[in-house]
Amino acid sequence: MLDERKLRVLYAIIDSYISSAEPIGSRTISKYHDLGVSPATIRNEMSDLEDLGYLSKTHSSSGRVPSDKAYRLYVDRMISNEQKIDKRRKQEIKSILEREHKELDQLVQNSAKLLSQITSYTALALSPQIKETKIKHIQLIPIDKTQILLIIVNETGLVKNTVFKMENPIPDDQLLALTNMLNVKLKNKSIAEIEKGALSEVFTEFYRYKSEIERILPAINKSMESIETIDLYADGITKLLSFPEYKDIEKVRTIISFIEDKNELIQLLADDTFPQDISIKIGNENFYAPIKDCSIITATYKLDGETIGKIGILGPTRMDYVSLAKTLKIFSENISEIINNYNVSK
Amino acid sequence: MLDERKLRVLYAIIDSYISSAEPIGSRTISKYHDLGVSPATIRNEMSDLEDLGYLSKTHSSSGRVPSDKAYRLYVDRMISNEQKIDKRRKQEIKSILEREHKELDQLVQNSAKLLSQITSYTALALSPQIKETKIKHIQLIPIDKTQILLIIVNETGLVKNTVFKMENPIPDDQLLALTNMLNVKLKNKSIAEIEKGALSEVFTEFYRYKSEIERILPAINKSMESIETIDLYADGITKLLSFPEYKDIEKVRTIISFIEDKNELIQLLADDTFPQDISIKIGNENFYAPIKDCSIITATYKLDGETIGKIGILGPTRMDYVSLAKTLKIFSENISEIINNYNVSK
DNA sequence: GATTAGCACTCGATAAGGATGAGTGCTAAC
DNA sequence: GTTAGCACTCATCCTTATCGAGTGCTAATC
């Protein structure tokens, strides 16, 4: 169905289109890609490729533009070829990221910023999901008579805190005892485990504090919930305004609104649980209408081999998937390494 | 120089232009604003107003457009008139803000979001500057051998934390003693006070911990610094894309880039230390080139009468200053009240 | 002396026509 | 199967014409 020459023509068109953003004609291909055949032959091939759904025209006598299907084919071929990462480049980026690294959230945000600067695309990042990471330290601190501060430090060095109110005050010494107990029993457990019942199970052992526990438990549970919230960072949104495909202000407004609204995009990124490290969603493969002519490349970052977040790039379907995927891979590896390295110090 | 009728004509033009975004002609004014004179007379007045710098034309036979100077005049008059705030509306907004309020940072972010939704303008907010607020609780928590978590809770209920590393470990009991000492000595002091020397002064009293203190002091100081960082929240950036004055994609790109870069805008908002609660910067009054045809209205929010942050609106100079200033006032008062109310529970 | 009706004039916006050229599909020759 | 040649298509650009909202000026009016 797709013989060697058709493939070469298709790839040539994709290459040219990625850099020019203009529909590609048969003469352009024969001129700049040495296929050894005349434009007329290429025209025939292009016509076939159009029938197969890999190309389309913007009007009856225009050049051809690659379809989502074409990018999909291209990407699948390219990605399967083992990609070599430029180690020096990786190290450069790593040292920049390490320089400003204070805590995990910051690291992820800075990564998105740098990624956008380097690629000139809009960068996205999901905040780390610490639900599955282990708790390193937990503490209850009385702020005033009715308010208690819950602090959870996890193995990544991430610190999360929530304040909750108690109807009736709990004496300081009891709070201290509770803190100690929590530390003993919950250290090295994950929030996910705790939610599955570890918390109440643990607490049943402590009859002495029964009444306090019963009052504090729902508050802690609620705090845990708020800790789980996934956030989205988007950096370099203005980069979208530079692409010729988004010169229509209405179109770009829809896309940026979609990013600003966050929730659906978080869904999209979080749900997409591909086994691969790099996931590429092209045009229509994206569920939500506003980004049906965008592509999103995402990579995961991991802690102890467990995916805890994502970093990605959003732009028009006409993008240099290969080079962007490489860059993204560098970022994802670097983030993971920095987290895990930090983690070693425990 | 500006007699009553000229003023009425000018105001009429500003009113019409704010709602239509089109240059205003003399006939439009005579039709919709009953000035009791013919279009010809209005034309004469308009010509005078143009000579005085309050109006300009987009081309030689176009209608008139108000200048920055005109808006300035208009705003000064309007703002000086005592503005009544719709108490029911204020209460409505307040209850929405209170519903989701957990901590100060969140409150400010949510306010910006709601403000943008209500006004259909881009909302800006400076994160609370807690430098001047009083510390309610301070605590050092050992995370592992080399890392210590510093937690500061201030009177607004805001919790800030930073992790810092120590070359050599400090035993847990000494850390506890230090924490107690810090609490005794620093409670109800502000970070600003501490930076002015309170910290070292306090520590000289404790000879026993001299060596620990000398090691930990710079780390704490550094943490304090990082706590001071002012952040900017921008919400509803896409609203800018809906204004006819920003239909040129290059222009709007410049503006959004400026917002995204944050730093200069933070400068602009933070530096502007007007005594009034509401500050209005019109067009050229803004120092930075990218926003020289934008206006920014800001209001402060306060804790115990001290300004600790700002919330504002950014849009084209053609904006309904009066109504927006009113809305903004509602928000600033609500935020202040919620903070201070929260604070009462201490 | 201020106001206004009348009118010539300006200029952006819109539409229509024509030329240009990049590109195609098809046919017939190689 | 490949390709040269050619008619055809259609977006883009340029020119020209028309339209109308709006102005400034002048002369008549109050």
Q: A229 in contact with B at a CB cutoff of 8 Å?
A: no
Q: Would you say B157 and A163 are in contact if contact means Cβ atoms under 8 Å apart?
A: yes
Summarize the confidence of residues B192-210 as an average pLDDT: 68
Cβ of A346 under 8 Å from any chain B Cβ? yes
Q: Decide the pairing of beta strands B122-126 and B64-66.
A: unpaired
Give the per-residue pLDDT at B345. 43
Q: What are B208's two structure tokens?
A: 């026993």
> What is the chain A residue with the closest CA to B235?
A260
CB contact under 8 A, B226 and A102: yes
Which nucleotides of strand C lie within 7 A of protein CB? Answer: 3-6, 9-12, 21-27
Reported as a single tens digit per residue, the pLDDT across A73-120 is 999 988 777 678 899 999 999 999 998 766 788 899 999 999 999 999
Q: What percent of chain B has pLDDT over 70?
A: 91
**Which runs of E-coded beta strand occur in B214-292?**
232-235, 278-282
Q: Which residues pair with A160 in a beta bridge?
A: A152
| Domain spanning B85-129+230-344: CATH superfamily | GAF domain (3.30.450.40)
Q: How far is the CA of A44 from the C1' of C30 (A)?
A: 17
Closest residue to D8 (CA, C1′)? A61
Q: For residue B209, what pLDDT band results from cuts at 50, 70 and 90? A: low
pLDDT tens figures, B33-67: 988 899 999 999 999 999 999 999 999 999 999 99
In chain B, positions 194-253 with C-beta closer than 7 Å to nucleic chain C are none
The pLDDT value recorded for residue A342 is 63
Topology annotation, domain A131-228: Enolase-like; domain 1 (3.30.390)
**B110-162 residue pLDDT tens:** 999 999 999 999 999 999 888 778 888 888 888 777 788 888 888 777 777 77
Residue A150 is encoded by which pair of tokens?
A: 């819950």
CB contact at 8 A, A152 and A164: no
- Dihedral class, residue B206 (left if φ above 0, else alpha if ψ from -120 to 50, else beta): beta
CA–chain centroid gap for B168, Å, is 43
Instruction: Give the integer Cα–Cα distance in Å for B235 and B124.
Output: 6
Minimum distance, in Å, between the CA of residue B345 and any CA atom of chain A: 8
SS3 B20: helix
Is the CB of residue B147 less than 8 Å from the CB of residue A345? yes
The phi, psi pair for B280, rounded to 5°, reads -125, 125
Q: What is the pTM assigned to this prediction? A: 0.91
Task: Report how many Cβ contacts below 8 Å link chain A to chain B.
Answer: 93
Chain A contact set for B146 (CB, 8 A): 345
Do B26 and B43 form a contact (C-beta atoms < 8 A)?
Answer: yes
Q: What is the DSSP letter of B82?
A: P
**For residue B234, how far is the Cα from the chain centroid?**
10
Where is average pLDDT lowest: A11-15, B43-47, B103-107? Answer: B103-107
Instruction: Please report the pLDDT score of residue A343 as a whole number.
Output: 55
pLDDT, tens digit (0-9, with 9 covering 90-100), for A49-73 = 999 999 999 999 999 999 999 999 9
Which CATH code, of 1.25.40.10, 3.40.640.10, 2.130.10.10, 1.10.10.10, is assigned to B4-66? 1.10.10.10
- Domain extents in chain B: 4-66, 85-129+230-344, 132-228
How many angstroms separate the CA of A46 from the C1' of C26? 15
Element (H, E) at A69: helix A68-80
* Measured distance CA(A92)–CA(A88) in Å, rounded: 6
Buried/exposed code over B33-56 (b: 16+ C-beta within 10 A; e: otherwise): beeebebeebbebbebbeeeebbb
DSSP B208: G
Is it true that A85-129+230-344 and A131-228 share their CATH fold? no
Residue contact A345–B144, C-beta within 8 A:
yes
Q: Which residues touch strand D (CB under 7 A)?
A: A 36-41, 44, 58-62; B 22-28, 39-40, 43, 46-47, 50, 57, 61-64
* Confidence at residue B228, expressed as pLDDT on a 0 to 100 scale: 75
Measured in degrees and rounded to the nearest 5, phi and psi for residue A160 equal: -120, 140
Cβ pair A9, A42 in contact under 8 A = yes
Tokens read off for B59: 């081309």
| B249: nearest CB among A146, A159, A241 | A241
Using CA atoms, how far residue B220 sits from B157, B163, B169, B226, in Å, is: 20, 10, 15, 10
* A303 lies within 8 A of chain B by CB: no
Distance of CA B95 to the CA centre of its chain: 21
What is the spatial distance between Cα B9 and Cα B18, in angstroms, rounded to a whole number?
14
What CATH number should be reported for the domain whose range is B132-228? 3.30.390.60
* Selection from A326, A335, A344 nearest residue A308 by Cα: A335
Q: How many CB atoms lie within 10 A of CB A63?
A: 21
User: What are A153's strand-pairing partners?
Assistant: A137, A159
At residue A233, the 3 state secondary structure works out as strand
Q: Does B253 touch chain A (CB under 8 A)?
A: yes
Instruction: Provide the pLDDT for residue A191.
Output: 79
At a CB cut-off of 8 Å and minimum separation 6, what does A341 contact?
Answer: none
- DSSP-derived 3-state class of residue A212: helix
B247 touches chain A (CB under 8 A): yes
pLDDT category of residue A344 using cuts at 50, 70 and 90: very low
Tell me the C-alpha distance between A42 and A36, whole Å: 10
Out of A139, A143, A256, closest to residue B237 by CB: A256
Distance CA B120, CA B13 (A): 23
pLDDT at B202 over 70: no
B65: closest CA among B6, B27, B30, B18? B18
* Pairwise CA distance, residues B63 & A79, whole Å: 59
Answer whether any strand C atom is within 7 A of the Cβ of A129. no
Half-sphere exposure of A346 (CA within 13 A, CB side): 17
Q: Contacts of residue B226 in chain A, CB cutoff 8 Å?
A: 102
SS3 B118: helix
Beta bridge mates, B280: B297
Block residue for tokens 């590609």: A24
Lowest mean pLDDT among A243-257, B12-26, B146-160, B284-298: B146-160
Q: Tokens 């790039």 label which residue? A: A313
**Percentage of the residues of chain B whose pLDDT score is greater than 90:** 56
Distance in Å from the first CA to the final CA of chain B: 57
Identify the pLDDT of residue A161.
79
Q: Identify the closest residue of chain B to A236 by CA–CA distance.
A: B260
Distance in angstroms between the alpha carbons of the first and the last residue of chain A: 57
